[in-house]
Amino acid sequence: MAGVTIALAPVIRQSLLTMVQSVELLLDPASESAVRAQWQLLADAGLPSQASHHGPSNRPHITLFVAREIPAEIDEQLKRRFSAPDFEVRLGGYVVFGGKQMVLARSVIPSRALLHLHREIAEATAGSTALPAHVEPGGWTPHVTLARRVEPARLGEAIGLVGTDVILGHSGAIRRWDGERKTEWLLTPPL
């Protein structure tokens, strides 16, 4: 497949986190729709896809921060400190995480604005517990997940379906996800 960029990222050991608390950047409606279309292409072909998760909180997003616990005082600080970000977001080539089964994602081309937001979120969340190294500034791989548990033999098929076009859009709201309670809430106003 000429012209397709695939980066293999180190395996991220989710077992370090028994419950996931995260801060995530949502995408603007047009970019979200483009990613959801890719999810649907994968699902229609019988491949694993994020489209198979039907909960209302299942939205394309860029995880900015994840920890085992985010204390309530940090949550309050996040609400006060951040306003809705407004910058361009580009989803580029593919990045693959995993071993026997893969996670297929679109890489997010890191702009200065995105890296600045990521660093500010890291500073604002200092004091959270069990911070994995893969979300720290300098070790972070920004991405939007397309599918989990993809068999390596079907990876090329999946990439061939979703194509190589760059998705160019804008940032959306910042949200908090509580994986223990399976709830989400916005930290900034929606678009």
Residue 191 half-sphere exposure, CB side, CA atoms within 13 Å? 17
pLDDT in tens, 19-73: 689 999 999 999 999 999 999 999 999 999 999 988 878 999 999 999 888 888 9
DSSP 86: -
pLDDT at 185 > cutoff 70: yes
Distance CA 173, CA 175 (A): 6
Q: Hey, is 136 helix, strand or coil?
A: coil
Could you give the angle at which helices 112-124 and 72-81 cross, rounded to 10 degrees?
140
Determine how many CB atoms are found less than 10 A away from the CB of residue 166.
11
Residue 4 pLDDT > 60, yes or no?
A: no
For residue range 66-110, what is the model confidence (pLDDT) as tens digits? Answer: 988 888 899 889 999 998 899 999 999 999 998 788 999 999 999
What DSSP state is assigned to residue 129?
B
